[in-house]
Structure formats: C-alpha cells, structure tokens
A and B are shown apart, each in its own frame.
Chain A
C-alpha cells in the first residue's frame, strides 16, 4: 500500500479522536514518536466538568471515543452544579490514569483501518496534486491526501522548572523540533503559549485522614450511559493553602521564570499558577486545592490548583505547608511548558489551514487547553480531513448546534489571546444545548457527517419517542385537580415525588426520566430560548455572500481589514470578529436591507 488517505500526527486526545473519526471512512495512519505515550493524561486524571462535559457528551453523540474511554476507566463520578439548573449541570469523571492510556491504545492499535507509524515529522511537502507528504526526521516521505497535525504542547516545546529550562514537549518527552517551520513558511502566524501542571505527590506520604473527603456520587453516571464497573469506588479530597504557603511564595517569586521574565508565552487566566493566585488575590488567606488519585490502588496524587514553575527544592517546602502534606514526598515536580500555537483565525471552521489546504490542526496547537477541547477538535478535524481525502462535500458545525460549534466559531472568528478553555458562559443558548440532550441535537449532524450509523440514529429517535410518551402520560393524568405535568412544573416537586402520588409512567431509563423532568420543568424557558434563537437567526444568518467588504461604504478601516481577513459567511459571524464594531454591523445590515429591497423591485 502506498500512502494513506489521512495521516494524523500526534497521539494525544486530539490525535486519538482524529484518527478514530478518520478511520470510519478512510485509511488512516497515526504518526507518533513512542506508541507507549498514546492516550496519556499529562494533566489531571479526570474528564469533564462545567462546559467540558457538554463537549464530551457531544463527542459521544457524534460517535467519538473520549466518553467511552472515560467511562470504562472511571473510579469516581460527580454531577457538578446539580442544584443550579439543567443548563449548567456537568458530569466529571475521575479516571485511573494508566488504565485510560492502555484502553486508548487497545482501541487504536487494534483498529483494522488505523496503522500506527513511528517517527517524528520534520516537514510537510505538497505532492502537487492536492495531497501531502509528511517527511520524517529519518527521511521517509509518508503520502496522504490530508494531514491532521495534533502536536499538543510539543511544537518547539520548552519546559521550565524554576529558572532552568530544557527542550521538552512535556515532562521527559522530546519536543517536535521541526514542524513549526512548514507552518510558518506558509505564512501562519505562530504564537507562544504557556501552561503548567502541579506536582504529583507519593500517595503513601499523604495523611488522607487530615483531608476533607469528597465521596463519589453513589449512583455513578457516565457519558455513554454505561458507567464502568468501578465508577463509585474512590473518593477525592480537598486541602488548602496556608499563610505559610503564601509567605514562602512571596519571598521566592524571583525564582519563578514567569516573574523573572524568562517566559514570554501567554498563560491562561482561568487556570493560574499558585504564584499567580497568591500575587493577584493577595486578599485571600487561602486557596482551595483538590487532591485527585491516580487510581484505586493509587501510588500518586495530583494536586489540582497548585500548578507552579518554582524550582523543585522550593516545591518540596511549599507542599509541606499544606494540611495533610506535612511529610509529603513529591514524585514528579510541577513545571511550566512553553510551545508554539497557530493563530486559529487562519483556519476554516473545519480547522483546515487557509494557507495549506489539506493540512488540518487540532487541539492545543490551536491555542486551546484541556483534553475535552482537544478531543472535540480532533473529531472535527479528523472527519473533515477524511471527507476531503475522499472528495466528499464539506459539512461545518454551526455555533447554534452546541458546545463544539461554539468552540470552533470562537477559535476561528474571535481567536484567543490565552489558552482557550470551554465554559458554559461562552454558550449563549445553553438552555437549549445541554448535556442531557446532546444525542438529540447531534445525531442528525452525525449522520450527515457519516459518523453515526442508521442503527444508532434509530435508537436515539426511539429514546425521544419514549420521552415524549412520558411527557404525554404526565399531561393526561390528574392529581388533585391539576395535571401531573403542572405539578411537576412546580419547583418543590421532583418526578419521583409526582409518581409517589399515584401517577404512572411508561417504562423509562434513567436518562429518559431526566429528559422528561427537564423538559417539563423548564418548558417555558426552553420555548422562550427557542423563539429567541429563531429571532436572532433571522438577523445573524443573513448571508454575506457577494458582499464586497473592500467596496462597502460605512465600514471603519479596521473592520474592513478584519472582515477581509476573517471572511465571515453570515452577519452573525461578522459580529464575532474582533475589531468589528456595532456601527460596522449596522452598515452591513443596512446594506443588506437595501440590497434586498432593490432585488425585490427587480
């Protein structure tokens, strides 16, 4: 066999998902330096959380891999924001770190249409017929129609331990030394981003009895509907910083490469290092930290919230200022990593380079942070790469579809100045796009993309027929002069309590019961949100096709340039391009309105 339809470079969460999706259509190669690192969790051993769990549910609904890997290896699950309303409820699953990677490797290595190829990519060369050669450092020329670059933090990666730096993609692994070059050569603007991880502490050195224990939800939940066998087995714990921690940090700030000015890369505001927290929130006398186990028989715990780039000798002292960690032994030290990212506004909504057609990028290379954000991009890029390779029509995921749509739209139209993390507050229509209805929302799209089988789609359809029957049953039964539906709408009643009053429902699964409850309780809001979405769509979906931004009067100079660069297809997209002011949008809308009335006259 000479060549593949798609080559995916990198075996992290974006690369895995890209290869898995591409292999549904196309012969796929996964190029990695060391297969043993495929599917690793380099940061915390958990999947999900606010904004992120919605992404995983959507990836799952599109036939992706992450939800399944997370469920299979779960040791603790928790629903966050359970009391705050359905739009923001999120599932978080703690995983057995090693098992997650092993499970990922089983799936990928055993896949008949994925070939794992070892090597480091050095260059990308066009083949002159719309395809590409990935040239490896040992001189092989691997041919493919499309390429997905999922390089994570590896592009010219540099790790920092205090003011000592070395060339690494992450702890103990060599960086991708050459792959930035072809991207820059094509005209991509590369930026430097920075992120960090906390120290890992030997579990047998932690006094767990001193820590606040957070139990797993007794009824485990999962992304796939089938939580793994050990999903309720482990707790997590909580500790906090002390005045001694804060004093030690303040005294030694000059040892931090960030504060000494060694690192130029832009770090995330929402996931600050412990140094940042102490400096920026000087009025707080403590910061909460979460202690996450690596597995049931855990050898190591992860100190969520304690990421740092101070030197190792200081980290030892710092960790010992935390309650329960007085004797702690650090097994792997915290570090910061700096790496190249591409300017995501130079991509299409399918994450294809506008400068190198056929080259796709996915994951942290696009300036995001987080496994879930990476997986969602991998799925989109892998699918689009395969569809391009096979000459299939281009399908894009629109912002209104859900969290994946918002992620893509934000990356491409707004871009980022710091590692981008998904949050529920980024999603305007979050009352409509919830984790509980991800399957209903995404299945038709999944079928159009070729990712969801007819059988799977049928079973989702049947699920919502049963949900509708459940709601109908509530409407038809009366309790004390009102319908059971009206009763359930009252905040003080749950579905179980309504049933306890003698109301009977057809047989429903747990997820179906939840869907019935949310739909009834929030019906008024959901309808309102739907009307609003439609009203907005009328304005924002106005096509800009044929509009010549260069010649249109009334635009500011800056907006004209930005619009010419971003090439938005609709008014809604144009509104999200930074530098486009409301006055510019008025000019666009006024122009479109005028054009419409003129064309009606003709």
Chain B
C-alpha cells in the first residue's frame, strides 16, 4: 500500500547538477531500488545479489537491451544508507542525455520521480539526520558562498545539534536538582546553587542566538552602507575595497547624488556595498532626496561605515545615524597629514592602501562576530526563534521560585528540542513541509 505521501514508494532522481560534467549520478531509493537496478544494469553480478557497500562495474541498458552507457552501480542496503532504505546509485558519464535516459528507464521500471528534498526527508524520517542536519543539507545544496557552505557542512556534521545538546544537558541537570528537592522535600536533598549553572547556560544561549545573525548573513549575504559628508572619500574607499573604479570619484562635493551598489566577497561572505550620497545640510532638492535615501539605506544595512575626512578639521555628521545601527568609524585619507586623532576610528587610505586589511578584518568581525571562530551557527529563522525562546525561559527561571523555575526550564528544554527537531510539534512538521516540498 502506498500512503498519500508515498513514503513507501521507490523514488529516483538525477543527483548531480544539471549540465555537462565528467560524471553524472542517478540515485534510486526505496524498497524496489535494487529491483530497478537489476532491470537497467548489466554487469558481473546482479545488484540485488550484491552486498551493501559494494559497487559493480558494467553497462546500463535501455528497454530493448540497447547499451546506454557504461559505468558503476553502487549498492547500499537498509538501514546502512543515506535514506535508511535500499539505495542504488548509478555513476555514468555526465551527459544530460544519458542521465535523462537512465532516469526514464528507472521510472519505467517502477520508480517515481523524487520530489525536491525527498531523499533528505527520508533520511530525516529514518532518524539518520536530525532536523537541524536536514536543514543543513538543503542549505548546503543551495549555498551560494564559501562561508555558507562551510556552515552547512558543520550543521550537517551535527555540530549544531551537539552544541545545543550541551546546553540542554546543563539545563536538565539543574532541572533535576530542582525536581528532586520538590519531590523529596524532607530527604535532605542538598539545595544546590542553581544560579551559577543557569548563568552559564544563559551565556551559552546568548552566544548561540548571536550566531543567528551571522548565519543569516553568511547565507543571504550582508549589506554595507558607506555614509559621510560629501567628499569624505566614500567612493574612493569603495573602489579601494573593490579594487577597481566602480563609482565616479571626483573632488567636487556632492558628485554621488544617487546611490551605487557594488558586490564583493569578504571572508567568504557576499557583501553588497552601498555608496550613499554625502550627508550634508543641503538646499539642492535633488541632493536632499539623496540624503534622505542615504539615511534609509543606512537603516536597512547590516553594517554602516561612517567616513570622516582625516585631512580636514573634524566635523560631526550633521545627522544622527539610525539608532541601533552597527557602525564602524573610519578616518579617511590617512596618506595626508592627520588633522585629528580618534582611537575609535580606523585610519584608512584609499590611495596607499594603509589600513585596508584592518578594515576588512573589522567588517568581518562586525558581521560574523564570535561565529567567525568556526563554531556551529544557527542558519534558519526557525532555529533562531527556538534559541531565542530558550534564552527567554532560562532568563525567567533565574528569578522565580522553584516550581515556576522548573516550569520555565522545561519550556526552555522544549524550545531546544524544537531546534533540533527532537520534540515533534506541529511547528517542526511545518518546517518539514516548508523545507522538503512534500506538499501536494
């Protein structure tokens, strides 16, 4: 019997990226996988008689027995496969035509086309991956940047799950101590100091939550706004960071009336630099519009570079930067004699390149924070939300009497279980449906 979801079906798909390549793979998974392999592969030995973890060399044949190509057939037997089911993988030359013919043959032999993410869904349902790992697989497939790829690989290795489990284990110990006291009030259970472990858990959770921004930045990229008075050197710095002339650099104030975007990669993170119009009090209506736009762009940015001309007496920015914005202050034109000093501003010269490496470093730290050090990050909004809920409950638990503190800790643990998909709530199932396209 098949369920509406078809989880008992045998599924097949081309597993390699579209286009010509040296090698292409068609993967078949499910109870009939090895039967399908028997039908389209001819070699020394039948796939269904081959032990798991072995491969056979031979040729792939079409309906009438005609040879499609030669290659390898890899055999995995349940539960020792990615999906936990019987799996056959056909490795052949990566011609789209050959792969299409192989897939068509697999379908004719009883497999149905896999939906997007369905192999990973099966791996998740088979308990081979936790939900965070499954999300990592999808992120890996879609990763557009090196950092995103590295993070996805970390998530896939279960590093995120382990990080969460460590926090959960600490909370569980504290909860157990509270419960022992409540269920055995007279047995002399020692009243343990619970604030120290909870403070530790709170710090760990806060650090984890802080990676959510980094994770999103790594996955979707970051927006950087350059703001400053006219002729503060925004366009020059932009060009220096890019390494070629993107904006028109002129010594006349107010040249950049519109804004310019440029893309570069910093520490593996795709960064969009936005060069905004110079901020000054202006009577020019076109320029005034540009100034307003600059402020709103700065507001939407992940990071603002506030540039001030170091060669002229310092003037405050005539407008306030948006509250809460993350800002790096830069003293430009460091090749010229300094008119002022400020330890809080990085000295950079777009002409000589002085200070550029430090600026890149500062941008990276500001965007990725501690996460830059390689621990596993939260990469989806769902994960971030669960971690934030856990953090709130732990914070609440620190100030409450025992019975309520126990309740808050249980809630925190539930939120962490949601994060890794250990607790199966409707939310988690929602995540499954969103991520794996298993809908109708």
Name the segment of B88-96, B121-129, B197-205, B217-225 touching the other chain: B121-129
CB-defined contacts of A86 to chain B, threshold 8 Å:
403
CB-defined contacts of A85 to chain B, threshold 8 Å:
401-404
Closest Cβ–Cβ distance, residue A392 to chain B (whole Å): 35
Closest Cβ–Cβ distance, residue B424 to chain A (whole Å): 4
CA distance A194 to B312 in the complex (A): 89
Q: For residues 74 through 101 of chain A, which have their beta carbon under 8 Å from a beta carbon of chain B? A: 80-81, 83-88
- Please tell me if the beta carbons of A305 and B403 are within 8 angstroms of each other in the complex: no
Contact (A431, B403) CB under 8 Å given A586-B432, A591-B5: yes
CB-defined contacts of B423 to chain A, threshold 8 Å:
582
Question: Nearest chain-A residue to B31 (Cβ)?
Answer: A553
CA distance A575 to B440 in the complex (A): 26
Partner among B124, B127, B406 whose Cβ is within 8 Å of the Cβ of A556: B127
Tell me if B264 counts as interface (CB < 8 A to partner A). no
Closest Cβ–Cβ distance, residue A599 to chain B (whole Å): 9
Tell me if B4 counts as interface (CB < 8 A to partner A). yes
Tell me if B426 counts as interface (CB < 8 A to partner A). yes
- Please tell me if the beta carbons of A290 and B186 are within 8 angstroms of each other in the complex: yes
Tell me if B6 counts as interface (CB < 8 A to partner A). yes
Question: Nearest chain-B residue to A529 (Cβ)?
Answer: B407
- Please tell me if the beta carbons of B7 and A587 are within 8 angstroms of each other in the complex: yes
- Please tell me if the beta carbons of B439 and A597 are within 8 angstroms of each other in the complex: yes
- Please tell me if the beta carbons of B126 and A80 are within 8 angstroms of each other in the complex: no
CA distance A583 to B123 in the complex (A): 9
- Please tell me if the beta carbons of B183 and A589 are within 8 angstroms of each other in the complex: no
Question: Nearest chain-A residue to B406 (Cβ)?
Answer: A425
CA distance A590 to B424 in the complex (A): 11
Question: Nearest chain-A residue to B436 (Cβ)?
Answer: A590
CB-defined contacts of B4 to chain A, threshold 8 Å:
591, 594-595, 598
Tell me if A42 counts as interface (CB < 8 A to partner B). no
CB-defined contacts of A575 to chain B, threshold 8 Å:
424
Contact (A551, B182) CB under 8 Å given A86-B403, A597-B439: no
CA distance A589 to B7 in the complex (A): 13
Can you name 6 A-B residue pairings with CB atoms under 8 Å? A81-B185, A81-B402, A424-B182, A539-B425, A586-B125, A590-B5
Given contacts A84-B182, A430-B407, A539-B425, 11 further A-B contacts (CB under 8 A): A84-B402, A423-B179, A525-B407, A552-B7, A575-B424, A583-B124, A583-B125, A586-B124, A586-B421, A586-B428, A590-B429
Contact (A425, B125) CB under 8 Å given A88-B402, A589-B424, A594-B4: no
- Please tell me if the beta carbons of A553 and B428 are within 8 angstroms of each other in the complex: no
Tell me if A51 counts as interface (CB < 8 A to partner B). yes
Closest Cβ–Cβ distance, residue A318 to chain B (whole Å): 19
Query: Which residue of A87, A553, A581, A598 has the most chain B CB atoms within 10 A of its CB atom?
Result: A553
- Please tell me if the beta carbons of A553 and B182 are within 8 angstroms of each other in the complex: no
CA distance A353 to B147 in the complex (A): 59
Scoring A residues 573 to 593 as 1 if CB is less than 8 Å from chain B, else 0, what string do you get? 001000001111111011101
Interface of B is mostly: loop
Partner among A425, A581, A598 whose Cβ is within 8 Å of the Cβ of B179: A425
Tell me if A288 counts as interface (CB < 8 A to partner B). yes
Question: Nearest chain-A residue to B30 (Cβ)?
Answer: A553
Tell me if B187 counts as interface (CB < 8 A to partner A). yes
CA distance A431 to B401 in the complex (A): 13
CB-defined contacts of A593 to chain B, threshold 8 Å:
429, 433
Closest Cβ–Cβ distance, residue B364 to chain A (whole Å): 37
- Please tell me if the beta carbons of A288 and B421 are within 8 angstroms of each other in the complex: no
Tell me if B392 counts as interface (CB < 8 A to partner A). no
Contact (A538, B426) CB under 8 Å given A84-B403, A587-B125: yes
Tell me if A50 counts as interface (CB < 8 A to partner B). yes
Tell me if A130 counts as interface (CB < 8 A to partner B). no
Question: Nearest chain-B residue to A592 (Cβ)?
Answer: B429
Tell me if B184 counts as interface (CB < 8 A to partner A). yes
CA distance A529 to B183 in the complex (A): 21
CB-defined contacts of B187 to chain A, threshold 8 Å:
288, 305
CA distance A584 to B125 in the complex (A): 6
Tell me if A554 counts as interface (CB < 8 A to partner B). yes
Scoring A residues 404 to 428 as 1 if CB is less than 8 Å from chain B, else 0, what string do you get? 0000000000000000000111001
CA distance A425 to B185 in the complex (A): 13
CB-defined contacts of A556 to chain B, threshold 8 Å:
126-127
- Please tell me if the beta carbons of A424 and B183 are within 8 angstroms of each other in the complex: yes
Query: Which residue of B6, B179, B439 has the most chain A CB atoms within 10 A of its CB atom?
Result: B179
Scoring A residues 527 to 551 as 1 if CB is less than 8 Å from chain B, else 0, what string do you get? 0010010001011000000001001
- Please tell me if the beta carbons of B6 and A536 are within 8 angstroms of each other in the complex: no
CA distance A539 to B432 in the complex (A): 15
Tell me if B382 counts as interface (CB < 8 A to partner A). no
CB-defined contacts of B145 to chain A, threshold 8 Å:
none
- Please tell me if the beta carbons of A525 and B426 are within 8 angstroms of each other in the complex: no
- Please tell me if the beta carbons of B188 and A428 are within 8 angstroms of each other in the complex: no
CB-defined contacts of A430 to chain B, threshold 8 Å:
403, 407
Q: For residues 115 through 140 of chain B, which have their beta carbon under 8 Å from a beta carbon of chain A? A: 122, 124-127
- Please tell me if the beta carbons of A525 and B410 are within 8 angstroms of each other in the complex: no
Question: Nearest chain-A residue to B126 (Cβ)?
Answer: A583
Contact (A554, B126) CB under 8 Å given A80-B186, A431-B403, A598-B4: yes
- Please tell me if the beta carbons of B183 and A423 are within 8 angstroms of each other in the complex: yes
Tell me if A513 counts as interface (CB < 8 A to partner B). no
Question: Nearest chain-B residue to A595 (Cβ)?
Answer: B4
CB-defined contacts of B1 to chain A, threshold 8 Å:
548, 551
Tell me if A287 counts as interface (CB < 8 A to partner B). yes
CB-defined contacts of B406 to chain A, threshold 8 Å:
425
Question: Nearest chain-B residue to A305 (Cβ)?
Answer: B187
Question: Nearest chain-B residue to A575 (Cβ)?
Answer: B424
CB-defined contacts of A532 to chain B, threshold 8 Å:
411
Contact (A582, B421) CB under 8 Å given A425-B179, A553-B6, A589-B429: yes
CA distance A594 to B118 in the complex (A): 14
CA distance A553 to B1 in the complex (A): 9
CA distance A591 to B127 in the complex (A): 16
Tell me if B398 counts as interface (CB < 8 A to partner A). no
Question: Nearest chain-B residue to A593 (Cβ)?
Answer: B429
CB-defined contacts of B411 to chain A, threshold 8 Å:
532
- Please tell me if the beta carbons of A581 and B127 are within 8 angstroms of each other in the complex: yes
Closest Cβ–Cβ distance, residue B82 to chain A (whole Å): 14
Scoring A residues 52 to 69 as 1 if CB is less than 8 Å from chain B, else 0, what string do you get? 000000000000000000
Scoring B residues 399 to 440 as 1 if CB is less than 8 Å from chain A, else 0, what string do you get? 001111011001100000000011111101100110000111
Tell me if B8 counts as interface (CB < 8 A to partner A). yes
Closest Cβ–Cβ distance, residue B54 to chain A (whole Å): 23
CA distance A290 to B122 in the complex (A): 56
- Please tell me if the beta carbons of A594 and B3 are within 8 angstroms of each other in the complex: yes
- Please tell me if the beta carbons of A594 and B438 are within 8 angstroms of each other in the complex: yes
Closest Cβ–Cβ distance, residue A572 to chain B (whole Å): 10
CB-defined contacts of B421 to chain A, threshold 8 Å:
582, 586
Q: For residues 70 through 101 of chain B, which have their beta carbon under 8 Å from a beta carbon of chain A? A: none
Contact (A539, B188) CB under 8 Å given A85-B401, A591-B3: no
- Please tell me if the beta carbons of A539 and B426 are within 8 angstroms of each other in the complex: yes
CB-defined contacts of A594 to chain B, threshold 8 Å:
3-5, 438
CB-defined contacts of B3 to chain A, threshold 8 Å:
551-553, 591, 594-595
Closest Cβ–Cβ distance, residue B186 to chain A (whole Å): 7
Closest Cβ–Cβ distance, residue A589 to chain B (whole Å): 4
CB-defined contacts of A522 to chain B, threshold 8 Å:
404
Closest 5 pairs (CB-CB, A-B): A553-B7, A85-B403, A553-B8, A583-B127, A585-B424
CA distance A581 to B404 in the complex (A): 29
CB-defined contacts of B181 to chain A, threshold 8 Å:
84
Question: Nearest chain-B residue to A548 (Cβ)?
Answer: B1
Closest Cβ–Cβ distance, residue A143 to chain B (whole Å): 44
CA distance A538 to B425 in the complex (A): 9
CB-defined contacts of B426 to chain A, threshold 8 Å:
538-539, 589
Partner among B179, B404, B410, B438 whose Cβ is within 8 Å of the Cβ of A428: B410
CA distance A529 to B401 in the complex (A): 16
Closest Cβ–Cβ distance, residue A538 to chain B (whole Å): 6
CB-defined contacts of B185 to chain A, threshold 8 Å:
50, 80-81, 84
Closest Cβ–Cβ distance, residue A578 to chain B (whole Å): 15
Question: Nearest chain-B residue to A540 (Cβ)?
Answer: B425
- Please tell me if the beta carbons of B5 and A553 are within 8 angstroms of each other in the complex: yes
